[in-house]
Amino acid sequence: MSIGKACALAKLVGQRFCILQQLYPDKELCLTKLEEKTGLDLANISRYAKKLKTEELISIKENDTGGKSYKNCSLTFKGREIAEPFMRVERENGDTPSPDEITLSIRMLREKELTEDFRRFIAAKLSDLAIKHADKLIEQAKELFKQTVQNPFPAENSKIGNQLMSLLSNSIPEMLAQKKNKEWFLQNVHQPLFDKISDEKQTLETRQWAIAIISRAARLMNDTNYRGNAFEKLMEIYYGEPAELSKTVKEELLKFEPNCRGEILKKINEQALSKPDRTAKAEALLRELFSLWWHTGPQKLGLQNH
């Protein structure tokens, strides 16, 4: 990269870091949610997002639900790599709550005499805290994490449940960084969620969330055995029903970084060769992965339909 291009990229990152900060490390937010979190107006958010996408710092995915179209933004591998040092500095220099404050906050979440709106606010604050200071709250939150895994979408307070799931997700990088917490995660979070993925009695939303958590752990954990087991489970789900789960698996696979891609492609190719009934679906997935990871279109890869 030329000095001029590097300076332009640095300037863009500095000016629009508030957007990268909200998406870090792997959150997916629509433009209106980014407007709410950054304080920028929607027109500017849309314009800035396009510039960040052009520089391959974020990806923008169009969704259509019930006839209403909206765009979701998430960091690319390049975007996370650039944002990480700044987020680390912020973690090191920021004010952190005391253990007593964190303990009290978690206790408040369980107090059903408090309003749901307030408890959701506390859950959101803890979720944001986990991005910067997960090491400060993991020990006190373990019982809360176990309850969240057991019942991710409680009917009586689903909005609080969504925040608690974000809290767990945001805590995973720090949880996997220490041997003691990593062992706890494998026993108390990984296995229950691993079982939920293929449990047809679970709601679609629960299974999708379980896929996302297991995939995130596989991206963060430098363990080929763990990743291999995760890929086996993800491919099992990809070839099954319902179609929504196949889509979730595909979206998660697209997030994996270069050091994992060879394993993924090999696993999909094995499925395409060994099970003829899966060949068409395997090839469709391979086309998408090659097109995104190699930054080229299907036609250039010679994979266009005839």
For the chain, which residues make up each domain, given as ranges?
Answer: 1-94, 95-175, 180-306
Determine the pLDDT at residue 60: 92
Nearest to residue 28, comparing CAs of 166, 203, 173, 126? 166
* Integer angstrom CA distances of residue 204 from 161, 227, 231: 15, 23, 20
Q: How far apart are CA 130 and CA 171, in angstroms?
A: 5
Identify the CATH assignment for 1-94 out of 3.20.20.70, 3.40.50.150, 1.10.3720.10, 1.10.10.10: 1.10.10.10
Kindly state the tokens that stand for 92. Answer: 């090191």
Determine the pLDDT at residue 199: 87
Determine the pLDDT at residue 137: 85
Determine the pLDDT at residue 129: 84
CA 62 to chain centre: 17
Find all residues with CB under 8 Å of 137, minimum gap 6, and list them.
102, 106, 126, 129, 130, 171
Extended beta strands in 91-156, E state: none
Determine the pLDDT at residue 85: 77
Nearest to residue 52, comparing CAs of 32, 96, 22? 22
* 216 backbone φψ class: left, alpha, beta (φ>0; ψ -120 to 50): alpha
The string over 186-203, giving b where at least 16 C-beta atoms fall within 10 Å of a residue's C-beta and e elsewhere, is bebbbeebbebbeeeebe
pLDDT in tens, the chain (306 residues): 556 777 888 888 888 888 998 998 888 899 988 988 888 888 889 999 999 999 989 999 887 666 667 889 999 888 888 888 777 655 555 567 788 888 888 888 888 788 888 888 888 888 888 887 888 888 888 888 888 888 776 655 567 777 888 888 888 888 888 888 888 998 898 888 888 888 888 888 888 888 988 988 888 887 888 888 888 888 889 888 888 998 898 888 888 877 788 888 888 888 777 788 888 888 888 888 888 777 644 444 344 443
Kindly state the tokens that stand for 109. Answer: 């979440």
Please tell me what DSSP assigns to residue 74.
Answer: E
Q: How far apart are CA 173 and CA 189, in angstroms?
A: 13
CA end-to-end distance (rounded Å), the chain: 37
How are strands ordered across the β-sheet holding 58-65? 29-30, 68-75, 58-65
The string over 7-22, giving b where at least 16 C-beta atoms fall within 10 Å of a residue's C-beta and e elsewhere, is eebeebbeebeebbeb
Find all residues with CB under 8 Å of 258, minimum gap 6, and list them.
77, 293
Q: How far apart are CA 46 and CA 30, in angstroms?
A: 10
- Answer yes or no: are the C-beta atoms of 27 and 72 closer than 8 Å: no
Determine the pLDDT at residue 305: 42
Write down the pTM of the prediction.
0.63
Token match 């909200």: residue? 22
Extended beta strands in the chain, E state: 29-30, 58-65, 68-75
Determine the pLDDT at residue 306: 39
Find all residues with CB under 8 Å of 183, minimum gap 6, and list them.
none
Q: How far apart are CA 298 and CA 290, in angstroms?
A: 8
Q: How far apart are CA 44 and CA 46, in angstroms?
A: 5
- The radius of gyration of the chain's CA atoms, rounded to the nearest angstrom, is 20
